[in-house]
Chain A
Amino acid sequence: MGEGALMEFLASALAWLADPAHWAGPDGIPARIGEHLVISAAGVGAAALLAIPVGLVLGHVGRGGFVAINVAGVGRALPTFAVLVVAFIALLPLGTVAFGFGPTFIAMIALSLPPILTNTFVAVREVDRDVVEAARGMGMSEAQILRRVELRLGLPLILAGVRTASVAVIATATLGALIAGGGLGRYIIDGLQRQEYERLFAGAVLVALLAIGTELAFGLLQRVAGRTLEAAR
């Protein structure tokens, strides 16, 4: 592709993005961004609800480090694409649930469990044992130590795990479009199939921006949380 053709293509991709017709309706950009955020938040949220309590308890009793580390290792080796397709086939007998949301949800949970679990476990283990002993000496129950000491002091690291998971999920939720899911991946897959490269390019730019935006937003949240923690001391 020559330079002239390249500029021409970029211009037409920009025109695609700027076209008001692409900003309305169920296939419009706001709707697709909404779908993308909903499926991502659902996946990370469910994974956090599972992984944070388990990580806290494992970290508190100081056992199961082997499990936490290995779940993370296997999780990294597990291709999300494979999880997605296996979940799709497994859900097929249930009918329409198999298309889109269901399998993507499962794959996004599988993707975000490992970093959240490992980080939560490490966060609790890294809390100064003297502080925990002092809390015990003050008469706190184990549950109180977990909630008021370990969870609070470990929060920055736990948040870091949720951040890693969220960015990966925003990036990967794109694959859901391969099995008739919504979200921004729709533009990429449809663009690829219809050979409408403007659509594909616009979709890719939007997902990339959303992922980078998520990364920056969590950075901000972590800084605010860190400062609140400092102030509470």
Chain B
Amino acid sequence: MTAGEPLIRWDWVASHVPDILGRIGEHVVLAGIALSVGLVIAFGLAVLALWRPALYAPIVWVTGTMYTIPSLALFALLIPFTGLSLVTAEIGLVSYTLLILVRNIVTGIRNVPEDVREGARAMGYTRAGSFLRVELPLALPAIVAGIRIASVSTIGLVTVTAVIGQGGLGALILDGLILFFSTPLIVGAVLSVLLAVFVDAVLAAVQRLATPWARAR
């Protein structure tokens, strides 16, 4: 970076709008795939843990260990097998969502009061019916809280996937680093924070709309 260069050159931003929008799109897709796949897997694991409580500790241990492994290291570990690909990025991103999601789903369901569960059974709900129609809706606030944490951290992590050539806002940050040019760098960083805050706010609003009974309290 040469001296006297401004931190942000707005003319660069103005002439790169389609490029920047494309990067935001890639970022949203990368994070969206990770969260959807993560949610499906976490839901399966949570059901398993609720059905066989003895499995909860090992599931938390395994997902907790995955959470501990550094993202860059995990990508690196996968590259010899899956290459510089979308699959590599997604395996890494998905594995970071699991601990948070499983923990919140299981805690949410377990916190449903026993009387409510008994009441549902007494009303003639089957075990599966009670789970789907009574317990799951009541656990929704805890589950959405987990999804919010997972989304915010995933959106931040997606910036690292640029290092293995998967685009997203991290690619702008990387461009800035390689060219010693602060504009794309700051644009990428600021947009990634804004995206995380925006998604968090949207999910909070969804939660309020989906759980009207929680608002009355």
Binding site for B on A (CB under 8 A): 1, 6, 9, 73-74, 76-83, 85-86, 88-89, 92-93, 167, 170-172, 174-175, 178-179, 185, 188, 191-192, 197, 200-201, 203-205, 207-208, 211-212, 215
Contacts and interface: CB of A to CB of B under 8 A. Distances in A.
Contacts of B177: 85, 88-89, 178-179
A200 B70 CA distance: 13
Interface residues of B, number: 39
Given A82-B192, A86-B185, A171-B70, A201 B76 contact: yes
A178 B79 contact: no
Contacts, number: 122
B191 to A, nearest CB: 10
Contacts of B173: 81-82, 85
Contacts of B1: 89, 92-93
Nearest to A177: B72
B68 A167 contact: yes
Given A81-B170, A85-B173, A172-B70, A200 B76 contact: yes
Contact of A212 (B65, B155, B200): B65
A203 B72 CA distance: 10
B144 to A, nearest CB: 16
Interface of B: 1, 3, 65, 68-74, 76-77, 79-81, 149, 152-153, 155-157, 159-160, 163, 170, 173, 176-177, 180, 182, 185-186, 188-189, 192-193, 196-197, 200
Contacts of B72: 174-175, 185, 188, 204
B77 A89 contact: no
19 contacts: A74-B193, A77-B156, A77-B196, A79-B170, A79-B192, A82-B188, A85-B176, A85-B177, A85-B189, A86-B182, A86-B189, A89-B1, A89-B180, A92-B1, A171-B70, A172-B70, A204-B70, A204-B74, A212-B65
